[in-house]
Amino acid sequence: MHTNMAEPMELLCWGGDWDLPSVHTDSLIVLAYAKFSGANLAVKSIDWTWRTITASVPQLHYEGTTVTEPTQILNYLRKQRFNADYELTAKQGADTMAYIALLEEKLRPALLHTFWVDAENYANLTRPWFTSHSPFPLNFFVPGRQASLALSRILLTKAESPLLNITEVEGKIYSEAKECLNLLSHRLGNFHFFFGDTLDAFVFGHIAPLIKAPLPSGQLQKHLNQLDNLCQFCNTILKNYFTDASAEKRMDCSPTATHDPVDANLQKLTQLVNKESNLIEKMDDNLRSSPQHRPHRHETKPSALASARNSTPS
Amino acid sequence: MSLAAEAFVSQIAAAEPWPENATLYQPLKEDQILLSDSASSLAVQTFLRMCGLPVQVSCRSNAEYMSPSGKVPFIHVGNQVVSELGPIVQFTKAKGHSLSDGLDDVQRAEMKAYMELVNNMLLTAELYIQWCDDYTATEISRPRYSSPYSWPLSHILAYQKQWEVRRKMNAIGWSGKNLEQVYEDVSQCCQALSQRLGTQPYFFNKQPTELDALVFGHLFTILTTQLTNDELAEKVKSYTNLLSFCHRIEQTYFKEHDRESQSGSSRHSKGSLP
């Protein structure tokens, strides 16, 4: 159904690191969806080219047309008959749209803040990475431009207009993001995947960088690591779709399917948690003494379910 | 508000019952209020009626500036002021009235997701049509927004608001869209809502929740507001179950007040549903 192409479709995206095919959320979404639906994409990374500042990434080129923005690209792929959502009911299609809106509104501001606005992460992780992956002399401009775009997006959408002060908004966006992660964890439950590939792709694109990046100060990452089923979801996708190229190894959504706990990943996660436990003092006073603790009540449910299912790692 | 302040406020809120003189403030109904504000205000009023909490609607030309967050509507209850549907839902929950207690966790996740969908798509589309479409902005939005003020203040305030909204659209990536794409997004959003509603009376079981209030607020306002063209209303009308949903809520919660709240021959609002 998807052969006989004159030339393969070309995707421009940021390069990969930390076990991920790409470090950029939107690029990951498209890459994941392409793997799920079996589309053959020629992936071209824009690292070390002038496109780091000129192109809006991700970008799909095919037969003269250019499509940007993950939603548009996914629509385009569907029109080209790479549709992985055939068996979705109408209600699930509607639910997909709703959950994607939830991700964009609640989780993305906190992701932007974690990577681009939080001073420690930005100085120690994000800026060096993007600087080292951009050609001279763009490496002076690219990270700064992305950071200011991220900051303005957060302030314009989340900050209430007289204030426009990032510290006021920080507590709010992190608590909303933790709530969003809890909601996703509830929805995923014991299954290995969400319903429908589009939602899987979007959730994967948002949480994979958060799980895998070695963030110096990552309270959101800590929270996410406690939600076992989301971490399993992410690692499963990485293992099945991005380490070996066989798409037919996709597991069924059976709650009792056994799986090997990926020891290497678990060790890395444990190391991350240990590293971050030393940085707990950096957390905001507000967050510690606030009704923030409410989300922890929900947390015990998914991890209790997950721990009953997990075999203990050796 | 910071989180600690919010916790403090909700503790105080829980202490007192809902008073009789609670007031909801919104911009002037006849001349000033715009589509998006009218939708948000109607959503809050519907929510409070669904909870059975009495509230008086008071129209003020400076409602936006009185509001603690800069957004309308806001309610004045006892000695607290709360704005926007989300915080108002939390506030009423602290007082012991909640519509979504019967939902389990997965349903609550879905409800929040759909509320975000409505905010993300419908509200943003309304703002886009009002302020980023030049024709609508010149003919309707700017004159209405600045009607209580005299020149040159009216000029300044209207353009300032337009600039603010356009900046926000730019930040979330909507500035590259044209009007057709926005109408298409509205249509997709309505399709999702229509599919989720199906043949049920409300979105979740037989009881209304804040999602029903929010959807009703937006759809009813879109259907009864006259813009430069009727395309937005037509998109909504093509989903019959959404139309009957709006009728049903109007009949159930607004029937007895219909005659009193019917505005006169105002150019903006057409009154009840066609």
DSSP per residue over B187-253, as a string? HHHHHHHHHHHTT-SSSBTTB--HHHHHHHHHHHHHHHB--SSSHHHHHHHT-HHHHHHHHHHHHHH
User: Residue B139 carries which DSSP code?
Assistant: I
Q: Taking residues B205-230, what's their average pLDDT?
A: 89
What is the mean predicted confidence (pLDDT) over B126-130? Answer: 91
* More confident position, B259 or B201: B201
Confidence (pTM): 0.78
Residues B47-61: tens digit of each pLDDT: 999 988 888 999 988
A15 — pLDDT class (breaks 50, 70, 90): confident
What's the whole-number mean pLDDT along residues A216-237?
Answer: 88
Distance CA B146, CA B221 (A): 21
Q: What is the mean pLDDT of residues A170-181?
A: 87
- Residue A116: phi and psi, rounded to 5, are -115, -20
Classify residue B22 as left (phi > 0), alpha (psi -120 to 50) or beta. Answer: beta
What backbone torsions phi and psi does residue A70 show, to the nearest 5 degrees? Answer: -55, -40
Average pLDDT score over chain B? 84
Whether A63 has a pLDDT exceeding 70, the answer reads yes
The torsion region of residue B84 among left (phi > 0), alpha (psi -120 to 50) and beta comes to left
Q: Could you tell me the pLDDT band of residue B83, with boundaries at 50, 70 and 90? A: confident
A134 compared with A272, residue with greater pLDDT = A134
Residues of A in contact with B6 (CB under 8 A): 290-291
Predicted local distance difference test score (pLDDT) of residue B258: 53
pLDDT, chain A, mean: 75
Residue A12 pLDDT greater than 90, yes or no? no
Strands A41-45 vs B56-59: parallel, antiparallel or unpaired:
unpaired
**pLDDT for the residue numbered A85:** 67
Option in A157, A168, A187 nearest B171 (CB): A157
**What does each C-alpha distance from A84 to A60, A63, A186, A196, B148 come to in angstroms?**
18, 22, 24, 8, 54
Alpha-carbon torsion, ordered B81, B83, B86, B88, to 10 deg: 40
Q: Does A299 touch chain B (CB under 8 A)?
A: no
Which of A57, A100, A105 to mutate: most B Cβ within 10 Å? Answer: A105
Is A168 within 8 Å of B110 when comparing Cβ atoms? no
Look at residue B218 in the predicted model and tell me its pLDDT. 93
**Model pLDDT for residues B163-208, shown as the tens digit of each residue:** 989 988 888 888 888 888 899 889 989 999 998 888 888 888 788 8
Rg (CA), chain B: 18
Separation CA A129–CA A277 (nearest Å): 24
Quick: pLDDT tens for A104-124.
888 988 998 898 888 888 888
Residue B239 amino acid letter:
Y
d(CA B136, CA A105) in angstroms, rounded, equals 27
Tokens at B104, concatenated: 């389990």
In the structure encoding, which two tokens stand for residue A227, read together?
A: 């939600």
- Residue B156: what pLDDT? 93
Mean pLDDT score, A127-153: 85
Query: Choosing among B118, B196, B200, B204, which should be mutated to test the A contact, i.e. which has the most A CBs within 10 A?
Result: B196
Inter-chain residue contact A98 with B188, CB threshold 8 Å: no
Q: Give the distance, in angstroms, between the CA of residue A177 and the centroid of all CA atoms in the same chain.
A: 13
The pLDDT assigned to B213 comes to: 93
CB pairs under 8 A between A and B: 95
| Two structure tokens written together for A80 | 């080209």
* Helix (H) / strand (E) containing A65: strand A65-68
Q: Do A98 and B3 touch (CB under 8 A)?
A: no
Q: How far is CA B94 from CA A177, B8, B11, B208, in A?
A: 22, 11, 7, 19
pLDDT at A45 over 80: yes
Residues of B in contact with A171 (CB under 8 A): 2-3
**Low-confidence winner among A62-76, A298-312, B184-198 (lowest mean pLDDT):** A298-312
| Percent of chain B topping pLDDT 90 | 29
Can you give the pLDDT at residue A289? 53
A215 exposure class (CB count in 10 Å sphere: 0-12, 13-18, 19+) = buried
Contact: B4, A290; criterion CB under 8 Å: yes
Which residue in chain A is spatially nearest to B164 when comparing CA positions?
A156
pLDDT at position A161: 54
A286:B2 CB<8 A: yes
Indicate if the pLDDT at residue A88 is higher than 70.
yes
Longest dimension (CA), chain B: 54
Distance between CA atoms of B124 and A107, rounded to whole angstroms?
Answer: 18
Q: Please, what is the end-to-end C-alpha distance for chain A in angstroms?
A: 44
| C-alpha–C-alpha distance, residues A27 and A46, integer Å | 11
pLDDT for the residue A240: 85
Average pLDDT over every residue of B138-144 = 90
pLDDT for residue A273 is more than 70: no
| Res A97: pLDDT | 87
DSSP state of B146: T
Q: Which two tokens stand for residue A261?
A: 């706990």
Greater pLDDT, B44 or A88:
B44
Q: Which residues share a beta bridge with B56?
A: B23
Closest CA in chain B for residue A187:
B106
Residue of B208 and B268 predicted with greater confidence? B208
> Which pLDDT band holds residue B162 (cuts at 50, 70, 90)?
very high
pLDDT band per the 50, 70, 90 thresholds, residue A266: low
Confidence at residue B6, expressed as pLDDT on a 0 to 100 scale: 64
Token pair belonging to A155? 């302030």
Distance from the Cα of A91 to chain B's closest Cα (Å) equals 5
A153, B172: Cβ pair inside 8 Å?
A: yes
Res. A244: pLDDT tops 70 = no
Query: Which residues of chain B neighbour A298 with C-beta distances below 8 Å?
Result: 105
What end-to-end distance do the CA atoms of chain B give, in Å? Answer: 41
* Ramachandran area for residue A64 (φ above 0: left; ψ -120 to 50: alpha; else beta): left
Q: Assess A186–B contact: CB distance below 8 Å, yes or no.
A: yes
Q: How confident is the model at residue B267, as a pLDDT?
A: 40
The two tokens of residue B147 are 């009607």
